[in-house]
Structure 1
Amino acid sequence: MTSGRHILLVEDESTIADLICTALEASDLRVTACASVEAALDAMERGAIDLAILDLSLPDGPPDRLVARLKTASVPVIAISGDPARLAAFAPGPTLEKPFRVRALLDLVRSALAGAAG
């Protein structure tokens, strides 16, 4: 994968967040992990984001404001959720239903970053 790219991970389940962070960092990606919409909005103020991986079920409510902000900044988003209805409502866009294989996520990340690089 492209080294130095910055991923914003928004996931409130620490076990899942740790697993995703480990896999992304092993692929030479920089990761900022946030457990809430507010923390993710704050993180966006601190630097450029190349891709966001976003859990659609967060403790401080639906991530609509964050998704709108990411779209305004032209940041691609991969949505993850254990709720198929939430994922269906997010379309179009890449989605993964929990539980998912890390390889499937890495494939989506690679594809999204390649598309964003063009």
Structure 2
Amino acid sequence: MTQKPHILLVDDERSIRDPLTSFLTKNGYRVTAAADAESARRTLNSSAIDMLILDIMMPGEDGLSLCRHVREKGEMPVILLTARSEETDRIVGLEMGADDYVVKPFSPRELVARIKTILRRAGAGAARETAPPTRAFLFADWALNTDDWTLTGADGVAIPLSTADYRLLIAFLERPRQVLTRDQLLDLTQGREANPFDRAIDNQISRLRRKIEPDPKSPSLIKTVWGGGYMLSADVTRS
């Protein structure tokens, strides 16, 4: 399955946000829309995002502050949406590390052309943003070594992990005690969306539980949150 670049669009104006979401989706992108910086931060924390398209002027936390936050975390591409009167903010945004800006009102086709150029340059979709290097995750009675994907129990015995096991476990370890939906887990582990009958994540959860749970039939580490998804109910230490 071809992985579509995942774009987070942040704009408080619904008259811009909704039609632009539709246009970008029709042009082959996966789009998550947010009306403010708070919602955007939640999405950034729970989903694998390839590019941020960000309005500068928003109520509450503005786009420049969110841009600064994103740039402190990594090199995710950022395009700013600005008004003609915001020249100083555009300059500040570029100095903060934004990759480009588009002045309102703008042509959606022009925006798509800029997205393609920046994603091609950044290689998004082939290599996602990663957290700062972590050599090991410690949780419950387990230690996961990220150098060689070795999962070791308290008895010192190493448990083999498949690629799917490792990606799923990392998604939980980077977000302990946070409820993750099936859609979010598919996005984080496979870069795709679920369909209504997709049970791939449920099957992967069952396999992982058999490897790490004291009693897979009554799981205490990876818990099911009815109507929500799954959650790792353990404290995690990085080393």
TM-score by length of 2: 0.46
Task: Specify the alignment match of 2:116 in structure 1.
Answer: 110
What TM-score, normalized to structure 1?
0.89
Q: CA deviation at 1:88?
A: 2.6
* Structure-2 residue corresponding to 1:37: 37
- Choose between structure 1 and 2: higher helix proportion: 1
Could you list the per-position Cα deviations for residues 50-100 of structure 1 after superposition, in whole angstroms to 9, with x for gaps in the alignment?
A: 000000011113234421332223210000111333223212531011001
Instruction: Give the whole-Å Cα distance in 2 for the aligned partners of 1:103 and 1:42.
Output: 28
- Say which structure, 1 or 2, has more relative contact order (CA 8 Å, 6+ apart): 1
Q: 2:90 matched to which residue of 1?
A: 87
- Runs (5+) with no aligned partner, structure 1: none
Shift of 1:3: 4.8
RMSD of the alignment, in Å? 1.7
Residue pair 2:78, 2:100 contacting (<8 A) in 1 also: yes
The percent identity for this pair of structures is 31
Q: Distance in 2 between matches of 1:21 and 1:110?
A: 16
Correspondence list, 1:1-118, <5 A: 3-71=3-71, 72-82=73-83, 83-92=86-95, 93-117=99-123
SS of the equivalent of 2:40 reads: helix
Query: Larger Cα Rg: Structure 1 or Structure 2?
Result: 2
CA contact (8 A) 2:67 2:93 kept: no
- 2:8–2:40 CA contact under 8 A, matched in 1: yes
Distance in structure 1 (CA, Å) of the matches to 2:64 and 2:51: 16
**CA distance in 1: counterparts of 2:65 and 2:30, whole angstroms:** 24
Runs of 4 or more off by more than 4 Å in structure 1? Answer: none
Structure 2: where are the runs of 5+ without partners?
125-239
Looking at structure 2, the residues matched to 70 and 52 of structure 1 have their Cα atoms a distance apart, in angstroms, of: 9
